[in-house]
Amino acid sequence: MAKKETPIEFFLVDATDKVLGRLATRIACILMGKHKTSYSHDKVMGDGVIVINATKIRVTGKKAEQKIYFHHTLYPGGARFIPYERMMKEKPEEIIRMAVRGMLPQNNLRDKTLKRLKVYAGAEYPLRSVKPKDMD
């Protein structure tokens, strides 16, 4: 029996003045495919998302001064702590990608699902041929 594949649609999201957490939950739902009637939790069924203007995202409260991103190099003493402000200057795309990654289910499909997320710091993006829909 052949698999019936549904075509992937792409949604365009402008992150200008959007709150990071609320935007990340909406993106995670689209990536998982929860907006479709044919949703299944054990398959990659979601659509793709293109996020532009990642440098203009905002956070609420004192997170801009207090939030710290952590990763470990897997070497002894390899803990790395990066403040939100420095991460915003160096890699604003990673802030959105990490927030969405944290809201996806922690299973084998997470990395496959994240491949459909494209984040760009500015307003320009190279996927013009895809003809994305506006998410708002």
Structural contact between residues 2 and 84, judged by C-beta atoms closer than 8 angstroms: no
> Could you report the per-residue pLDDT of 47-62, keeping only the tens digit for each?
999 999 999 999 999 9
Whole-number pLDDT of residue 22? 96
Question: Could you tell me the domains of the chain?
Answer: 10-59+92-124 (3.90.1180.10)
Whole-number pLDDT of residue 1? 45
> Could you report the per-residue pLDDT of 58-90, keeping only the tens digit for each?
999 999 999 999 999 999 999 999 999 999 999
Structural contact between residues 122 and 52, judged by C-beta atoms closer than 8 angstroms: yes
pLDDT for 131 beyond 70: yes
Whole-number pLDDT of residue 12? 94
The CA-CA-CA angle for residues 51, 40, 52, to 5°, reads: 0
Structural contact between residues 47 and 131, judged by C-beta atoms closer than 8 angstroms: no
Whole-number pLDDT of residue 5? 67
| Mean per-residue pLDDT, 94-105 | 96
Q: How many residues does the chain have?
A: 136
Does the predicted TM-score (pTM) go above 0.75?
yes
Phi-psi region of 101 (alpha: psi -120 to 50; beta: other; left: phi over 0): alpha
The CA-CA-CA angle for residues 35, 38, 39, to 5°, reads: 60
Q: What does pLDDT average to over the chain?
A: 92
